[in-house]
Structure 1
Amino acid sequence: MSDLDQPDPSSVAPGSQRSVHRSIAFSAIERYGNLVLFLVTIAVLARLLTPAEFGIYAVVNAVTAVVAASFQEFGGANYLIQKRELSRASVQTAFTVTFGISALVGLALLALSGVLSQLFEQESLQKGIAVSALSFLLVPFSGTITGLFRRDMEFGKLAICNLVSGAVGAAVSIALAMLSFGFMAPVWGGVAGNVVLTIMLLRQHRDLGAFRPSVAQIHDVVGFGLYSSGVSVINVLYNLSPQLFLAKILDFTSVGLYSRATSITQIFDKLVVQVLNPIIMPALVSRSKDASNLRVAYLDAVELLSVVQWPFLLFIAIMAHPIILILLGQNWLEIVPLVRLLCVANLALFAACLTYPTLVATGSVRDALTSSLISLPPSLLVVLCAAFFGAQAVAASALLTLPFQAAVALYFIGRRLTIKPKHLSCALLKSAVVTVMTASGVMVCAALIEARIVPSFVGLIAAGGVAALCWWSGLMITGHPLLHHLHRAAGGLVVSAPWLRLRRL
């Protein structure tokens, strides 16, 4: 049976708790496996490449990512998932539009690679951009199959494909870096990973008819894509703007330092948010018929995400020095203040991963674009001004821009779901208490490391244990709803433990 013959996920299994929990489990296996690969790769590459080489790679990645964002939402995964009744014609049209735009954009980027290298006054960029453009021919295939698998909650297949492609990309990057390929090592690694991913997805899907050219549903695809692509482009451009501004205004060493700081800050996203992202859209779409159910689901998700994100980010901020020393080495300690600033600023984004899926689920994809157009242009201006004062000033600017962006997004969400500030406050109160308890314990360990009473590695391990103990204690004291979910995830093996029976206060 092909993917298109499966039942509509908005009406059956994907809405069930069992399906969601199983999907989260497979997604977690994939993301955590790739997180290990990511940490190993950056630890090795940090010792093989200089900050300047990392900076050049970051700019290549930024340019190609911004360009890719301009076409991936035309018939991409989000279009396939949100479509209530998905026909073969819809899939074929989505692929056709995506492939056509991808090919044209890839050729344009290849032709303009020389101009871009002159713009940033770095000839090496031309080769890096040209090689990265090769992946544009693969994305329509992998993106279409990924969207279909996500729609049908086939996360086991996705996990295998993504883990293997991630391992290949990491191995190629490290091997080429050892052979002195410089910044081109991770560029070629990315292309190799995309090739393997596409081949494996095609072997899993086995329905080549989905890639037959068609324009039968072109108005529907383009109608959704215009708004969705607009949201994607402006958000990707904003997220990568610090690297682009620093490269043009200062130097590639600053770009490399800021890029590594961002990578450390985003570990939470790789641990939690990227595990949930593939499931959030189909899960919310399945509840979109009832606004009250969607409001409850949103507030519950905010409560669960914040109690994990806030303590984690503050742990990274407080323990930034030993983390960077152990993971990246002595040469990268300059990014410690950047990591701390970015972690504190990111506390405001406790519900960021829910914004776009929620607005799409309510049929308000236009609001997602409006929200971005209101909050991101002023934020870009702030980042641009900060870039003249260095990477640390850019990181500090996030303390202004990220809370502003969060406030705008919450306004649009609140309007659609009739959520008031008091509702959010109630959802976040227990998480705030747990966070304060966790951070207090970690600060004691940080003080011991700073006073050189314990070495960095021992102190970091001890801080992790203390943080876990304080966090768990906070969950029990507040009776946080996450306890119930952890209990269910454990499969009832500890059902007799009395603290798991705590009710919400």
Structure 2
Amino acid sequence: MSVVQRSILFSATERYGSLLLFIVATAVLSRLLSPQEFGVFAVVNAVTAVIAASFQEFGGPNYLIQKRELSPRDVGSAFTITFGISVAIALLLFVLAHTLSQIFGQNDLQRGIEVSALNFLVTPISGTISALLRRDMKFGALTVSNLAAGVVTAFVSVLLAMAGFSYMAPIWGGLAGSIVLALVLLASHRDLSALRPSLFAYSEIVNFGLYSSGVSLINVFYNLAPQLFLARILDFGSVGLYSRATNLTQAFERLVTQVLNPVVMPAIVAQRRAGADLKAVYLEAVELLSAVQWPFLTFIAIMARPIILIWLGETWLDMVPLVRFLCIANLALFAACLTYPVFLAVGGVRDALVSSFISLPPSLLVILGASFFGVEAVAASALVTLPFQAAVAIHFLRRHLAFKPSEFVGALLKSGLVTVGTASGVWACARLTEAAALASLTGLVLSLVVAAFCWWCGLVFTGHPLLHQVRHAAMNLIRIAPGLRPSRPAL
């Protein structure tokens, strides 16, 4: 297997293991905590994430990964700047915790924000070491570290929820996971010189961080804005429903995009160094991603009701229309995981920031206006905002990659046909389930089988390039399987 394929395999192992932990922990927590309690937890996460995104990209992972020649003093400078800013963020959150809780009219937020602030004391360590391992494509150590942290987060969260800690259970669980992640990464990396204080390269890091932090801040704020608007304008129950709907909609991101994300940026940067045609790389990746993302999100939208009923329980069925709106809207983001890495590879970090400033502020205004009409209106607004954002990003990418609109559409045509075929089979199963001809679990299992069959037939019928990739990956797994089995002693 190539280095990239091996890295994707390790990344997939980690992400799917983490997803399994997330599904089980969420299923348990959803029966222990109410939508109101989940809403408080979601707002605490949103507030801390927005503040963190304002500064943490200074010297963060993206700087360490994209730099052509990386010296120990560069690494030390990146860690020093990140650690100093993280400590400042932690202190700022402690100071602002009471004020923020008053703004949202929820006193419980204060304690949650104060505990969440402690994460910033350990994330510079894990962030720096993780970036170095990603740069060197050492995803085996990352897999072990992240899975260990995920197990601790899930276990502590569920245990404390059962003990009556309410919304604080997942907050304390997240802190425990952050500490374990830092400790395991330190144990696996062992080279503590990466954490040696230095300010040798501070000017270069700050210059990169100005653009990178701008992109991170505006995108993080946009993603979390609906929850903040709903908490301020409506109630925390609406926040809980929207937060869980977003989690379900992001199942594809957890299953596929997050598997690729750690590998995409180092791989694209490596392709640039090798002089590859990034236009061809981008169009091929778009064609492959859309053939998986579109059918997947269409499946979630059609089968939303039985999925929610089985996973979260009847209390959360109000999520069904939210999930459907968000799934349909997210079809426009099939190439989102490629956008920033490609901008970075072609030296277009400034364009990434400009495109975000063009597309996200108007989208925020639409979401804010929709908040006054209820949580369903907020979800429906994504049908307008997400396609607009995708169009702006693709327009700026065309400046660097010089692909024609016809080439872009041509790369998506076969994926569209595969999606239509898959959706038709799933829709038939959904009709049987809604008519009570099938139980929810039976209908869901049957729809999965039908979806997989229709999807594969679509790939074969259209001659989709993904078919070759799937076969190639299967052959690689078969080839390495004998090496994974323990050898028998000779008799």
Range class of TM-score, shorter chain: over 0.9
Q: % of aligned pairs identical?
A: 64
Contact 1:238 1:380 in 2 (8 A): yes
Structure 2, unmatched stretches of 5+, are 480-491
1:307 paired residue number? 291
Question: What's the Cα RMSD here?
Answer: 1.1
Cα distance in 2, alignment partners of residues 485 and 161 from structure 1: 29
Cα distance in 1, alignment partners of residues 93 and 229 from structure 2: 19
Cα distance in 2, alignment partners of residues 83 and 291 from structure 1: 16
1:296 and 2:264 are equivalent in the alignment: no
1:401 and 2:385 are equivalent in the alignment: yes
Cα distance in 2, alignment partners of residues 212 and 292 from structure 1: 36
1:182-220 per-position Cα deviation (integer Å, ceiling 9, x unaligned): 000000000000000000001111111111111110011
Deviation of residue 490 (structure 1)?
A: 1.2
1:209 and 2:193 are equivalent in the alignment: yes
SS at match of 1:85: coil
Partner of residue 106 from structure 2, selected from 100, 113, 122: 122
Partner of residue 466 from structure 1, selected from 431, 450, 454: 450
1:51 and 2:35 are equivalent in the alignment: yes
SS at match of 1:363: coil
Aligned length: 479
Q: Which amino acid aligns with 1:51?
A: P
SS at match of 2:114: helix
1:348 and 2:332 are equivalent in the alignment: yes
2:158 paired residue number? 174
Contact 1:23 1:155 in 2 (8 A): yes
Moved more, 66-75 or 362-371: 66-75
Cα distance in 1, alignment partners of residues 344 and 355 from structure 2: 13
Residues 438 and 127 of structure 1: CA distance in aligned 2, closer, same or farther (over 3 Å): same
Cα distance in 2, alignment partners of residues 473 and 487 from structure 1: 14
Contact 1:33 1:163 in 2 (8 A): yes
Q: Which amino acid aligns with 2:299?
A: F
Structure 1 segments of 4+ aligned residues over 3 angstroms from their partners: 289-292, 492-495
Contact 1:487 1:494 in 2 (8 A): no
Partner of residue 318 from structure 2, selected from 316, 334, 343: 334
Q: Which amino acid aligns with 1:475?
A: L
The residue correspondences of 1:18-417 to structure 2 (distance < 5 A) are 18-289=2-273, 293-417=277-401
Residues 52 and 76 of structure 1: CA distance in aligned 2, closer, same or farther (over 3 Å): same
1:430 and 2:414 are equivalent in the alignment: yes
1:308-332 per-position Cα deviation (integer Å, ceiling 9, x unaligned): 0000000000000000000000010
Structure 1, unmatched stretches of 5+, are 1-16, 496-505
Cα distance in 2, alignment partners of residues 20 and 494 from structure 1: 18
Residues 493 and 210 of structure 1: CA distance in aligned 2, closer, same or farther (over 3 Å): closer
Residues 252 and 134 of structure 1: CA distance in aligned 2, closer, same or farther (over 3 Å): same
Cα distance in 2, alignment partners of residues 468 and 210 from structure 1: 46
Residues 303 and 373 of structure 1: CA distance in aligned 2, closer, same or farther (over 3 Å): same
Q: Which amino acid aligns with 2:82?
A: T
2:463 paired residue number? 479
2:487 paired residue number? none
TM-score (norm 1): 0.94
1:150-194 per-position Cα deviation (integer Å, ceiling 9, x unaligned): 000000000000001000000000000001100000000000000
1:446 and 2:438 are equivalent in the alignment: no
Cα distance in 1, alignment partners of residues 440 and 405 from structure 2: 41
SS at match of 2:438: coil
Cα distance in 2, alignment partners of residues 289 and 28 from structure 1: 25
Cα distance in 2, alignment partners of residues 492 and 335 from structure 1: 40
Deviation of residue 491 (structure 1)?
A: 2.1
